[in-house]
Amino acid sequence: MKLIVQIPCYNEEKTLPDVVSDIPRSIPGISKVEIQVIDDGSTDGTVEMARACGVDHIVENGRNKGLARSFQSGIESALSLGADIIVNTDGDNQYSGSSIPDLVAPIIQRQADIVVGDRKPGDNPEFSWLKRQLQKLGTRVVRNLSQVDVEDAVSGFRAYSREAAYTINVMTRFSYTTETLIHAGQHGLSVVSVPVKTNPTTRPSRLAGSTFRFLKKQMVTILRSYFMYRSLNAFLWAGVLMIGVGLVPVLRFLFFYAIGDGDGRVQSLVLGSMFLLAGYITVVIAFLSDALATNRRLTEAVLERVRRLEQQPPQVDTTELRETLQIMRRSDDKAYRARSSK
């Protein structure tokens, strides 16, 4: 069983040697461990340092494309290299490589498709009180939306089986963590969490300039993924609610109109009609969005099939060759019979 540990990097020349040296090259149940660095347009000596550290593979984006695109490029490369398990870690040396055996163990034992490293953010003294509370809130939201039981939804320290990696399609540029969990839940993949060790923080995160900016981007990603995969629920209930609200003033107007006191109550009819129209349009949008979501699932199935076909060895069509050999045999038989008759 082959394991590839991928490290997305953006200007990680200083920390990369520690990350690489901490990755174990021998793990029970794994026959081969390789290291892959995805350089996201670094302007320092990250690529040269990766070569000096003896990494097995380097993927260069050429320009900065963001963490999510780098992660997807790494997954595609690892699949083409024949990885059975893919572990993603950060280039800032946040995660301890000594936890990689714990991370891959559930996949080796066929107990999970995806394993998320739990940093215990609620108990981490290096996180501020506000950040710990936001981590808990974000994890709870992602858990409810994805229907998978995770303890640290934004942890980038993860292991993916080959089967799970085939299904991954990251659409955002910012981060892949929450989107892939919601994606996994929608595809029925088994996701588990295991406690992992972390190293002391050496620098602020480059993923977002501040906690609130990070929160805003994560919320946009969560909402986008939710509307992408569960659009019928999202829009249908909103439309039904607006229709219900619109019925109240309309029924009020009809009641007073029926008893002859409808004069001066046209405002209720106008207000109710606006809500009814908005609700009707929202319900229509719900079914249109569900049709688009169905089309996305079909597209993802096609992409998964294409990935699998790309990894298979080329199949040689031997039909024409067999037919040629049969013709040659018949010709030889005729020639042999002709010589025998003489």
Last residue of a domain, one of 228, 251, 283: 228
Are residues 260 and 219 located together in one domain of the fold? no
Are residues 130 and 51 located together in one domain of the fold? yes
Are residues 96 and 205 located together in one domain of the fold? yes
| Residue 318 belongs to some domain of the structure | no
Are residues 92 and 72 located together in one domain of the fold? yes
Are residues 56 and 70 located together in one domain of the fold? yes
pLDDT digits (tens, 9 = 90+) for 119-168: 886 666 666 666 666 677 777 777 777 678 788 888 889 999 999 998 88
| Residue 334 belongs to some domain of the structure | no
Are residues 46 and 122 located together in one domain of the fold? yes
Are residues 35 and 157 located together in one domain of the fold? yes
pTM of the model: 0.72
| Residue 328 belongs to some domain of the structure | no
Whether the CB-CB separation of 66 and 59 falls below 8 Å is answered with: no
Whether the CB-CB separation of 253 and 268 falls below 8 Å is answered with: yes
3-state SS track over the chain: CEEEEEEEECCCCCCHHHHHHCCCCCCCCCCEEEEEEEECCCCCCHHHHHHHCCCCEEEECCCCCCHHHHHHHHHHHHHHCCCCEEEECCCCCCECHHHHHHHHHHHHCCCCCEEEEECCHHHCCCCCHHHHHHHHHHHHHHHHHHCCCCCCCCCCCEEEEHHHHHHCCCCCCCCCHHHHHHHHHHCCCCEEEEECCECCCCCCCCCCCCHHHHHHHHHHHHHHHHHHHCHHHHHHHHHHHHHHHHHHHHHHHHHHHHCCCCCCCHHHHHHHHHHHHHHHHHHHHHHHHHHHHHHHHHHHHHHHHHHHHHHCCCCCCCHHHHHHHHHHHHHHHHHHHHHHHC
Distance CA 53, CA 51 (A): 5
Look at residue 167 in the predicted model and tell me its pLDDT: 86
Last residue of a domain, one of 228, 249, 281: 228
Are residues 177 and 203 located together in one domain of the fold? yes
Are residues 170 and 199 located together in one domain of the fold? yes
Are residues 120 and 142 located together in one domain of the fold? yes
Lowest-pLDDT choice from 49-53, 64-68, 278-282:
64-68
Indicate which CATH number applies to the domain containing 146: 3.90.550.10
Are residues 223 and 288 located together in one domain of the fold? no
| Residue 323 belongs to some domain of the structure | no
pLDDT digits (tens, 9 = 90+) for 230-281: 778 778 888 999 999 999 988 888 888 888 777 777 888 888 899 999 999 9
pLDDT band for position 55 (cuts 50, 70, 90):
very high
Range of the domain at 302: 231-311
Lowest-pLDDT choice from 191-205, 285-299, 319-333:
319-333
| Two tokens, residue 51 | 């070569």
Distance CA 171, CA 179 (A): 8
Judge whether residue 74 has pLDDT over 60: yes
More reliable by pLDDT, 89 or 220: 89
Last residue of a domain, one of 228, 252, 282: 228
Judge whether residue 90 has pLDDT over 80: yes
Q: 322: which residues sit within 8 A by CB, 6+ positions away?
A: none
Q: Which position has the token pair 């991370």? A: 103
Are residues 115 and 200 located together in one domain of the fold? yes
What total number of domains does the chain contain?
2
| Residue 335 belongs to some domain of the structure | no
